[in-house]
């Protein structure tokens, strides 16, 4: 069974655009769970342009399912994660000025750094996932540094899916197989939506978790948040 984690960053973006506390990010996190989400993901960035560090502290005690914090493991982020102790941390190599995540880690080039970071988080009992591109060598490198899972960066899959689903998923399937052979868990995320999600899950049914935010909020504008989450939950079923 593939778990659905809802990334609530875009809800925080809407709040921050106006100031005040509308919409309420902590209530949104609880509502997503109440509507069936099997996890909540947040991605605090250094400039706090959407999720703020204070949001992470506020949300943590409210989450009953799984709490996943993703981000670039700069010192401030590492301190936050070690203090909050989420169920999972996802390491993403974002530049500080990145609009959104746009690449996975080179787990070979950054072997020493990632090994150190994984060791730190795992010593706190936090499951550690590394964001990677769809390249089997990156999965092998992730296994060497000592993480528990990888998250496949699925932007290329989503972009190419409308033209040729089978071709779009080819590299992802090959990488997912290598991930499994390396004994790692498998997550996926970025630009997954109601059009391409089910095909991904049916082709790679050992996917442990998908993290989806932007598409969920876009669909919720028309369908409502509860109906949207239920539609995504249905799409994760084979």
Does 47 score more than 60 pLDDT? yes
Q: Rounded distance, CA 171 to CA 202, Å?
A: 15
Buried b / exposed e along 37-48 (16+ C-beta atoms within 10 A): bbbbbbbbbeee
* Number of other residues whose CB lies within 10 A of the CB of residue 138: 23
Three-state secondary structure readout of the chain: CCEEEEECHHHHHHHHHHCCCCCCHHHHHHHHHHCCCCEEEECCCCCCCCCCHHHHHHHHHHCCCCEEEEECCCHHHHHHHHHHCCCEEEECCCCCCCCCCCCCCCCCCCHHHHHHHHHHHHHCCCEEEEEECCCHHHHHHHHHHCCCEEEEECHHHHHHCCCCHHHHHHHHHHHHHHHHHCCCEEEEECCCCCCCHHHHHHHCCCCCEEEECHHHHHHHHHHCHHHHHHHHHHHCCC
pLDDT for 205 equals 98
Does 6 score more than 60 pLDDT? yes
Of the candidates 38, 43, 50, 209, the residue annotated as catalytic is 43
The pLDDT tens digits of the residues spanning 162-181 come to 999 999 999 999 999 999 99
Question: pTM score > 0.85 for this model?
Answer: yes
Does 217 score more than 60 pLDDT? yes
Mean pLDDT score across all residues of the chain: 96
Check: CB of residue 208 under 8 Å from CB of residue 180. Answer: no
Q: Rounded distance, CA 81 to CA 218, Å?
A: 28
Residues of the chain with pLDDT > 90: what percent? 94
Confidence of residue 103 (pLDDT cuts 50, 70, 90): confident
Confidence of residue 94 (pLDDT cuts 50, 70, 90): confident
Sign of the CA dihedral 36, 91, 180, 198?
Answer: positive
* Number of other residues whose CB lies within 10 A of the CB of residue 202: 12
* More confident call, 201 vs 94: 201
Confidence of residue 201 (pLDDT cuts 50, 70, 90): very high
Q: Rounded distance, CA 114 to CA 140, Å?
A: 13
Which domains are seen in the chain, by residue range?
3-235 (3.20.20.70)
Answer yes or no: 190 catalytic.
yes
Mean pLDDT of 112-141: 97
Does 156 score more than 70 pLDDT? yes
pLDDT for 102 equals 66
Confidence of residue 97 (pLDDT cuts 50, 70, 90): low
Of the candidates 38, 66, 70, 151, the residue annotated as catalytic is 70
Mean pLDDT of 38-52: 95
Answer yes or no: 70 catalytic.
yes
Of the candidates 33, 38, 66, 190, the residue annotated as catalytic is 190
Check: CB of residue 68 under 8 Å from CB of residue 38. Answer: no
The pLDDT tens digits of the residues spanning 68-87 come to 999 999 999 999 999 999 99
Confidence of residue 193 (pLDDT cuts 50, 70, 90): very high
Does 153 score more than 70 pLDDT? yes
Structure tokens at 203: 């082709």
């Amino acid at each position: 069974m593939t778990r659905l984690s809802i990334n609530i960053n875009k809800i925080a973006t809407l709040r921050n655009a106006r100031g005040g506390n509308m919409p309420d990010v902590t209530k949104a996190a609880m509502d997503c769970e109440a509507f069936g989400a099997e996890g909540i993901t947040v991605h605090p960035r250094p400039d706090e342009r959407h999720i703020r560090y204070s949001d992470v502290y506020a949300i943590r005690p409210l989450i009953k399912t799984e709490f996943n914090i993703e981000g670039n493991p700069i010192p401030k982020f590492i301190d936050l994660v070690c203090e909050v102790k989420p169920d999972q941390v996802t390491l993403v190599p974002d530049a500080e000025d990145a609009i959104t995540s746009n690449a996975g880690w080179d787990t070979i080039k950054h072997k020493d750094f990632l090994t150190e970071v994984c060791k730190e988080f795992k010593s706190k009992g936090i499951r550690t996932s590394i964001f990677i591109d769809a390249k089997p060598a990156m999965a092998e490198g992730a296994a060497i540094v000592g993480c528990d899972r990888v998250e496949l960066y699925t932007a290329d899959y989503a972009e190419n899916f409308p033209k040729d689903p089978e071709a779009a998923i080819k590299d992802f399937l090959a990488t997912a197989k290598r991930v499994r052979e390396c004994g790692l868990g498998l997550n996926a995320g970025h630009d997954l939506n109601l059009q391409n999600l089910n095909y991904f899950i049916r082709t790679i049914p050992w996917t442990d978790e998908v993290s989806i935010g932007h598409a969920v909020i876009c669909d919720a504008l028309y369908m409502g948040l509860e109906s949207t989450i239920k539609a995504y939950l249905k799409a994760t079923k084979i």
